[in-house]
Structure 1
Amino acid sequence: MSDQLRDRYDVVVIGGGAAGLNGALMLARSRRSVVVLDAGEPRNAPADGVHGLLGREGMPPSELLERGRSEVRGYGGHVVAAEVVDAVPEDGGFVVSLADGRSVRSRRLLVATGLVDRLPEVPGLAERWGRDVLHCPYCHGWEVRDQAIGVLGSGPMSHHQALLFRQLSDDVVYFTHEAPLDPEQAEQLAALGVRIVDQPVHGVAVTDDRLSGVVLADGEVVARDAVVVATRMEARVAHVAGLGLPVAEHPSGVGTHVPADVGGRTEVPGVWVAGNVSELTAQVGASASLGAMAGAHINADLVAEDAAAAVAARVGARA
């Protein structure tokens, strides 16, 4: 279901994941006119269920989002399936352009477009992503507990991932690949019983549509049931380039994000961000919380602007 798109809103929310929908919910409950523009490309689409979210544990991502859309609509907000191609400041507000030629204006913007996971360039990983090629122990770890797990050294978080997944299984192998260990890290993993394979990885083996091993440079196949990778996470903002949002390396070194204050306000006047576009490691619950925070701050900003305009009008009437 999609709603009729109006010409103008108090707030346009770009991105209909947990952050965008929860931000819109806060705004709609504050009686703000708000629309969520959603291209329908959620990051967690390959996942079977949402985990670590109290009261919604294991719920399919599509069901969670559909409930969220229904809740936003229940308070008068709109949710429109649309691909945004640009957004630019105009006359103290913004114009958001859509791929089908339409455009919509708003006083404020909430950008909740998430991130893109860049997987290591190892054949076979992308096809298994979200199934038995994983990245987050809190999202997928329970599902692979006690299995044979391989951790592919692919980024600054790889050693940390090995520690986290060792909590879930006694059978963990660390493949140094592109992230060799320093002596202290190697000693730590060895002490925990993690086997270290110091050889490049050339691919993954699949048997009966299930991952069955990691293929090394010399052709050896190390039997594994799941492979953990550290993706490079990049804020998805190319389609709102006209806003001039700053993109910077995340302090953790795992990718790029849009810096913002605690309420999601960016350095671009009138633009807030929420969810993975600003906080790369946020899970669904945290992203929803960041969206709610941003929605409340946007409403407060509009309240202040409306009050100032009312005072100016009152003073003008007296004059």
Structure 2
Amino acid sequence: MYDAIIIGGGAAGLQAALTLGRMHRRTLLLDSGSYRNGTVRHAHNLLTNDGRDPAELRRIGRAEVAAYDSVEVRDAAVAEVIRDDDGLTVTVDDREFRTNAVILATGVVDELPPIPGLAEHWGDTVASCPFCHGHEFAGRPVAVVNATPHAAALARMLEPVASRVFIVAPTDVREVTGTTDGLRLHLIDGSSREVAGAFVAPTWTVRGHIVDALGLERQESGAVRVDPFGRTSVEGVYAVGDLAQPDHAPGPMFSLAAAIAGGQLAAVAVVQALVAA
């Protein structure tokens, strides 16, 4: 019987494991090996780790968690999570594990606009967040490949960073190719634009089937509805990181710093619930 099972081994899940480990709570962290930032080589806007490879962040996080004997880490994908009157059951590779709490930290999956060549540069010279990747294009032209009202606001945010900002609709881009120091956008009209990088607004969905199987309440955005401590609509189930959104937030907060904070708060809530039981 585990005090908590964490599903997801990114920043949010590792922070939850670290916090629970420091409180000597028997914890199992299950990591499928799929990460939203799996193609990203440098993570930015994270204090003390600005520019570090996310894979290195995960390696360091695992090493820190390993110092706590009460935490077990397994590289495995979860098949099923069931809630009953006695708690929660997590199924992995035909094995069942019982727990008082489940912390979902599985993240989301991005779907990029269907532009040939775009995906090959995703996480490098193609990004979605100006706070995470904008500075790396400083003093050079960038493109916002988006025709929604959000594109104009994003362009204004980038104006102090880039030498010039082009707004281009996805339907106007025929292909994207790499250059020695950026991208070339090949447009439908036969012209092209050379830029240091491009920002797109991918369509995202919550990763995995567990959210639907448990019947967790969703926000209008599609994220899992949580309170400030990550509690979901199902008792004993918490959601943290990119897939979670509290009522006070306009949307899910897609950042490593926010994911780490959410993981810590959910772990605190789990410990509080255990002593109150």
Q: Please give the TM-score of this superposition, normalised by the length of structure 2.
A: 0.91
* Closer/same/farther in 2, CA of residues 300 and 249 from structure 1, 3 Å limit: same
What are the Cα deviations for residues 61-101 of structure 1, in whole angstroms up to 9, with x where unaligned?
11111121122221221111001122111342111112x32
Stretches of 4+ aligned residues off by more than 6 angstroms: none
Amino acid at match of 1:153: N
What are the Cα deviations for residues 113-164 of structure 1, in whole angstroms up to 9, with x where unaligned?
1111121111111111011111111211111111221110155532222122
Name the SS for the 1:298 alignment partner.
helix
16, 25, 39: which one pairs with 1:23? 16
243, 246, 249: which one pairs with 1:277? 243
Alpha-carbon contact 2:113-2:170 (below 8 Å) kept: no
* Cα drift, residue 235 of structure 1: 1.8
Matched with 2:184 is 213
Amino acid at match of 1:262: P
Matched with 2:270 is 298
Alpha-carbon contact 1:155-1:230 (below 8 Å) kept: no
How far apart, CA to CA, are the structure 1 residues paired with 2:121 and 2:145? 14
Name the SS for the 2:101 alignment partner.
strand
Q: Which has the larger radius of gyration?
A: 1
What are the Cα deviations for residues 267-317 of structure 1, in whole angstroms up to 9, with x where unaligned?
111101111111433311111011000100111011100xxxxxxxxxxxx
Gaps of 5+ in 2: 246-251
Amino acid at match of 2:53: P
How far apart, CA to CA, are the structure 1 residues paired with 2:194 and 2:144? 12
Alpha-carbon contact 1:274-1:294 (below 8 Å) kept: yes
65, 84, 99: which one pairs with 1:90? 84
How far apart, CA to CA, are the structure 2 residues paired with 1:155 and 1:20? 33
Report sequence identity in percent. 35
* Cα drift, residue 38 of structure 1: 0.4
Matched with 1:148 is 141
Amino acid at match of 1:230: A
Q: How many residues align?
A: 270
Matched with 1:261 is 227
Name the SS for the 1:291 alignment partner.
helix
Amino acid at match of 1:78: E
Gaps of 5+ in 1: 1-7, 179-199, 251-255, 306-319
Q: CA RMSD in A?
A: 1.8
Q: How does 1:45-124 map to 2 (within 5 A)?
A: 45-76=38-69, 77-98=71-92, 100-124=93-117
Which sits farther off after the overlay, 123-132 or 148-157?
A: 148-157
Alpha-carbon contact 2:81-2:91 (below 8 Å) kept: yes
Amino acid at match of 1:87: V
